[in-house]
Every structure is written in C-alpha cells, then in structure tokens.
Structure 1
Amino acid sequence: ERLKDAPETFKVLKSISKNDRDLQFKIQVYTEDCQGCGVCIETCPSKVKSLEFSPIQVERDAGEIANAEFFEQLPYDIIDGSALNSIKGLQFKQPLFEFSGACAGCGETPYVKMVSQICGDRMIVANATGCSSIYSGTFPTTPYTVRQSDGQGPSWGNSLFEDNAEYGLGMRLAVDANREQLKIYIDKLFALGTSAELKSAIEKSLELWKESSEEANDAQKAVKAALPGAIAAAKSDEERKLLGKIDELKDYFADKVIFIIGGDGWAYDIGFGGVDHVLASGRNVNILVLDTEVYSNTGGQASKSTPIAAVAKFANAGKEIGKKNMGFMAMTYGHAYVASISLGANRLHAQRTLQEAVAFDGPSIVFAYATCINHGVNMRYSQEIMKDAVNSGYWPLYRYNPSLEEGKRFSWDVRSTPGSFQDFIRAEVRYSSLFKTNPKNAEALFARAEEDAKRRMEFYQKLGPLM
C-alpha cells in the first residue's frame, strides 16, 4: 500500500519472511553518504555479488537520491517472521547510530551500530576519548540519531580519557537513584489509591523492573499513556502531587542500559584503574572495548593490548612484552560477565553475546576485535580479516557468564582454527614491517608471538570445568 507513491526507480523484492501482510524487502544504498570502502561488496553473502562500485553521478542520474528520500518515509521495526535474537531479525530494527565520520571500512563502528539496534533509546553512553568519541561526537554533529516513530534516541556523553569508566558508573548511580525515588512515590500512590488503569500499568512495569527489554519498554509506554487521565481524575491534591512526581520520572519505569565505550588504549592502559573499579562495584553497567590493539586515534602507539612482535610507535623494533590478558583478569572477580567477540568471524555469536551482556544483572565487559587502518591492511576486507583472526588462532571467542551453574559458566566458542597464524600476521604491515625495523630479530619475535597466542588459546580452553 505504501509503495503506490514510490519512485519508478524504487525496486523491491517480495519478503521471504513468514508474514500475512504481503511485505516487500529492500536494501537502500545512501548514495550521498557512501564512503566507498567496499565492505558491503565483500560482505554480501550471495555467490554472485549483488553490489558493485558505480560512479556517484551515475547513481544520482538513476534516481537513487529520490529513492533514499522515499525509503526514509517507510516504517522501521517490522520484523514479522523473524526473531530479534537472529541476525536477520535485528537488522530490521532501526539503527540509532548512522553515518559516522570514522575511517572507511572501520572495524569499530559496526559494533556500535549493533548495540544501538539491541538497546534502542534505552541506551545511555559514556564514551572514552579516542576514535569512538571523535566519530561519535564531532561538534555540531553526531551519528547517534532518534527513532523514526517517536523521536526518542540514545543519550551520549564524553568526559575525559582517564575517567570514562567512573563517568559511566556515575550515570548508573544516577539512574538507580531516580528509580529508587520513583518506587517511593509509587508505594505512596498505591497506599493512597489511584485509577485502576494506571495501577494495572504500573504493576506490569514493576514485574519487569529489573529488565531493559522491549517488553519493559512497552510496559513503560502503557504507564505514560495512562498518566494524563489519572492526573485529570485525581481525587485529592495529595494524589495529584504524587502523580506529578511520577510523571516527572516516568522515563525510569523501564531500566536504562548503561554502555561504557572506548578503545584498548583507554581500557587496558589509561583508564584501566577506572575499569577495574567499575567491575568491582558490581553495578549493572556494560563495558564495550573496541580493541584495535593500538592507540588508533593518536596515530598508532603501542598499548598493553598490542601483541608481541607488532610494530607500533614506541615499539618500533617490535613489541617484546605480551598482550595483557584483561579478559581473564576480569573473570577472577567471579561476578562480572566477560566475553571476547569478532563480528566478521561470527556475527550471530557477537550479537547474542552483546544481548547476553545487556541482559546480565551486573557488570559486563566485552572485548571486540576491530580492524584498523593502523594495521596496514586493505580495509575493504576488514570483516574477512576479523574472520581470519579467529580462524588462525590469533583472536579468541569466549563467554563467561556467572549467572550459569558452576562448571558451565565459561564457554569456548571457537569451533576450529584451520588458518595459519604466521600467514595472518605477515599479511599485516604492522607485523611485516618488522623485517625493515628489526630484521635481525623478526623471525624470533614472530615465533614468540605464535607461541604466546597458542599458550593463551590452550589456557582458555581449559577454563570450562574450572569456572
């Protein structure tokens, strides 16, 4: 029905998702915002690639600008026949992070986009200074946007480099304080009495009090819808005053999702004390470490995430010290959700891990492998490189969930590693340049790098029964 006003050039396919509404399907390329990275071409799963490069003026003349404008008018979040815990289902959710100023082919931004689709407007972001703060908040623009249906979106803030974890913890404490105050008002209102419709809506929200789910969000909407009528029908000044206080805090019926986001330079190094403090607090926050294994924004300096043999600024002859095992350090607390993901290697694993982290009632930290121009690779293949990192035994996939029973809390999620570790690292300039900067010790450092990675992988695989 909505397609009757579509431009003639607006082509669609019949949806293959189970539905009874004759739904159509389309992927719309935004010609004016395309960075030309080519990642979409390489990531397309069809045997015959559905996408190809084309001169921008050719696409303008073909009507793609008008197509994009019409596409913007179509509704999001139609997921008939798909589940939100599937890759397909999640992609029908409106991204609330779009058109960032990151480098073409950036390995970090797809994770942030995915988180925005999982959390929606419930997300409050504390962003460490670095690449992710620059492409997320270069004044006067931001890639964080609002939901098409109601104009609601995530809240985002950037403090300093070294105190971002504490900054995010403060957000959590503020949300908790507001929710505790809201509960006090609710108890007083119930003791006094109010409309049956509002009471029923509030009781449903209280059942979902600890959740930050779509269901909790829907329950909050029901409370918001019932409040004006209850205020108008208030039988006393006291009831009207309490309803007014509840109205002020109505956005806190559904819990907020606090995401503390930053790179490895922040998490492993400069902000490590804060990250440790926040994990130890036991508070319900989510930490996403966009791990490029180097200080990306400042030009490629070595961090404690940089592995042995990698060449970086301040490690020009190849890093001699191994990568900090920060994931295991976080696991030793025993109460924090800890995971390691790589989007290009296993998209469903990355998505469900992030969904588990959000659902976990307590602190979580997820280490997300991200390709970077500082690695000296063709960023068109960034997702394929993420896959190779896992297949070669370079990057681990695992989850540690303290809410599960003992012996089942740690899950090793790498099926096999058929690739060559040496082929993987030698294909990246950050490693191969070692033959120029330190040719005498290059082979020895490469051997140490593989030995260290193998030791780590074997260590992780033995954790299952112990955790």
Structure 2
Amino acid sequence: MKKMTIDGNTAASHVAYAFSEVAAIYPITPSSPMAESADEWATAKRTNMWGQKLKIAEMQSEGGAAGAVHGSLSAGALTTTYTASQGLLLMIPNMYKISGELLPMVMHVSARALAAHSLNIFGDHSDVMACRQTGFAMLASSSVQEVMDLALVSHLATLKSSVPFLHFFDGFRTSHEYSKVEGFDEANNYAEIKAIFDKLGMQKYVDEFKSRALNPEHPIQKGTAQNGDTYFQNRETANSYYEAVPAIVSEMMKAVSEYTGRAYHLFDYVGASDAEEVIVVMGSGAETIEETVNKLNAQGKKYGVLKVRLYRPFDATAFVGAIPASCKKLAVLDRTKEPGSLGEPLYLDVCAALLEQGRADVRVYGGRYGLGSKEFTPTMVLSVFKNLEAKESKNHFTVGIYEDVTNTSLDFSEKFDAAPAGSTSCKFYGLGSDGTVGSNKNTVKIIGDHTDKYVQAYFFYDSKKSGGITVSHLRFGDKPIQSEYLIDAADFIACHNPSYVTRYDMASDLKEGGAFLLNSEWTSVEALEKELPAKM
C-alpha cells in the first residue's frame, strides 16, 4: 500500500476503477469528482485489474445513467456509477430492477440533503434513506480511510453475493475532506487489489455473472411480466441471497482487515466494556463521537459508541451482540428526517432488533443531527450523553440547533474540546476563486505526501462558491485525525480579504498565544488602528 493525501470521492473512485469495465455518469454535487477522476484516469490510459481501460458513458440525466448501468450489467459488463441527492432518487426505479435481477454492482454515493422546503446541496442521509427498500445492500463509511477500505469490501461482496451494493459516505464532510490515508497501489493493473481478489477466488463469481449476460449465443429469459399467480412466490426467491449477505460482508471485511491491519466488522463498538450509555450512529459523526468518548472516558466516564457499517441487510444478531451487556440506554442518531414516522429509520431498526433479540430491557432514544451539513461537534456529543444520563431522557430530540417551535432540542451550551493534544489547527479565510482553497489543498498534499505527519483539510463555502466566503480548516498531527467538524480553537488564522475584518469575528477562534495573519495594504500602525475594529 502507499500513502496518499486524497479526499473521499477520490478514494471511492480509485477502488471502483479497479473493478469496473464501464461507468455511466452524470454530474451532481457533491459526487461529481468521482466521475471526473474516473474520466481523467481513463484518458490517461489507467487500466483496471484485467488490463482494460474504463469505458466512460456520460449521459444526459441521472435517470439515463441508471438505465445505462442496468443495460450494461445486463450485457455482462462490470459497471459502476456515482451520484447523490435528487440524482439518486432518479435512479430508484432502475435500482429495483438491478436488485430484482440480482446484478452485482456498487453505486458510490456521497450522501446529500434533498430539496424539501428549500434547496440544500450539503450533506446528510436523506437521499440514501430513500433507497433502503430498493434491495440494494447498504454499507456506510465514516472517514476517507474507511471509504478506501470499505469500497473494496463492497466490490468484493457484491460479486460473491450477486446483491448490488450502495456504498455511501457523508457528502462534503467526507467526500471533500482531504486526509492522509493508506491506499491500494494502482500500479501493474491494481496488483495489490488483484492479489486479494485472487486469494479469495473471486474470478469464478465474475465468470458466473458474465454467463448470465444477454447473448444470442446462449439466450436467457428475463424482464418478464408476471401476474398474481406467480409474482409473489418468485419475489421471495431472493431471500436466501440477502440472508447470505452479512456473512459474505464479514468475510470480505476480514480479508481486507488482514491485508491492511485495520479491523472492520458489521458493527464496531468503541468505548468502555461496562458502559451503560451508548450512542448508535453511522457516517462521519461516528469519528467525532469516538474522539469524544475517548476523551470523556479518560476523564473517568464510561461511555461507548456503536458504529453501523452494514445497514442493509440489517443483521439484528450481530447488532445486539456488539452492544455491551451492561448497556441500559441507547441514543440512536439519524442524519435524516422522516416526517410523520414514529421515528427515523435507524432508530426503528434498532428498536425492532432489540425486541426481536430479547433485549427489550434497553431503553432507546432517537435523535436527529447534522441535516444539511449542520455542524456536529464534541460539545453536542456530550449533550447527547447528558440526556441519556438524565432521569427523564428526552426522546425524538434534535441536537445542534435550538428549535423553539416544538422544543425538541437538547441544550449544548456546555462547551467540550475533544481534540487530542499535539495537533496543530489552522484556519484561512478567503474569497471564492481567489486561490486560497487551491493553495491549501496543495499544502496538505505536500505535507501529507512528504512528511510523517497526518493531515486533514476541509473547506467551508456556501452554495455560491465562486465569489463567496471560503474558510479552509487544516489540521496536522502525529496521530490519525478524527475531528470531523470545523475548527473552533485555532493555533493560526489567516485572512486573505481585508474587508472581512469588519464583517466576521475571526479572532475569537484563536487559541491563547495563537497567531493571526492579515493580508492587506495597511502597512502602518496608524492605518491598522484606523481600519481594524477595536475588538480585533
């Protein structure tokens, strides 16, 4: 493996390229860079595991891309696509067909909000949760490193199971975050991935898939219309395939873990072995909660977090088996809103799993967080644990906002800093298209690729992008960085647009003894005293 400083989109596309013969694409924020990278690599004549260059088919809509994927799979070509938000919803009709015909593929999704009362182009799980009935297996990644590793798990598992996979990770927070990761070398036709592929004997599953292709030399029947006399029973014939998925995913996780040294399971628990309060979550929030749990437990608390990897099919036995026997209360956090439901999707699955597995003694509390890329910080994690500890815990709560209409919010006024000691945090304020974001991307790549430091870079900008404010959040440290939230305590802050000094409170996030750099034409003390606000 080799060190790579890349974002989540690039990590997903990097692995997908190794397994794919065709990619049918259509751009939509924030998934577009996955298709752009694949197109760029194909143009540069990069080859997949079989020595073939990826064939790119750019369609005129997401619906067209999904139709092309279905047709390509039916013709026997290993095919992938990348999408998000409304684009994913346009693919749902074809997703039912792909899963119904047991066609193996992986769809990589940078999960994004849906346009409801307004448009929002940022991250949450609203789109992928609309797909949980399609028949696609669903695997969640929490970080850029996990995107690299679990993308491989997805592609291996879909071939053996014949069940299509939706591999998702948080839009922007993971898709656009730059991080130093261990990646699979693409040299020699992805020889590293091919070695894992061959060790598992995966070629026979590829051959089986291709043997079902539409071909006049060996015709098959598919795409029929069935009436009430046969449809129901034929629909149930897929049961055994889905029942086999959790074990197959576990097998592939074990194989990838043995190669990488990073352990993955269907559900991963982190925290005190005798914890009574545990948070259940999936996506980038899991990293923030783990960082917070580690800090709180070091201070004497006994908390835990249960990370959901395989969301569909939901293995109730594995889920309950991962919960500490001491657990009395669970907080289940969903990054979506389902109006009118008894609770959000993950919450309902957890309740059903506990009931069916005889753990109804565990009290479950559901909450919503992070919609539309709303911040989710250690301070908010602490408020969730405090709610669990309360004598009367609030159910169906929100965290990260103060909602004064139906009063669902948890109070998060008590600040908590979970950032590990020894890391350096920097913020850069710029104007969209002024080069600040680009130069900071180059900075983290240089430091990540040419030093032993771990790096993380996340770029905040509004939907205007060009011409709007940008804030680059850079972290450097000697240990892997799990801080999946914006910097609120910086060692260094730079402002590249002097007009911001009267518009934004930039200095308040500066640590004691930190440095502030202002790029301006005010060169004298008198000019600075005249132009800078007194607070600064």
TMscore range, shorter length? 0.3 to 0.5
Higher share in strand? 2
TM-score, normalising length from structure 2? 0.33
TM-score, normalising length from structure 1? 0.38
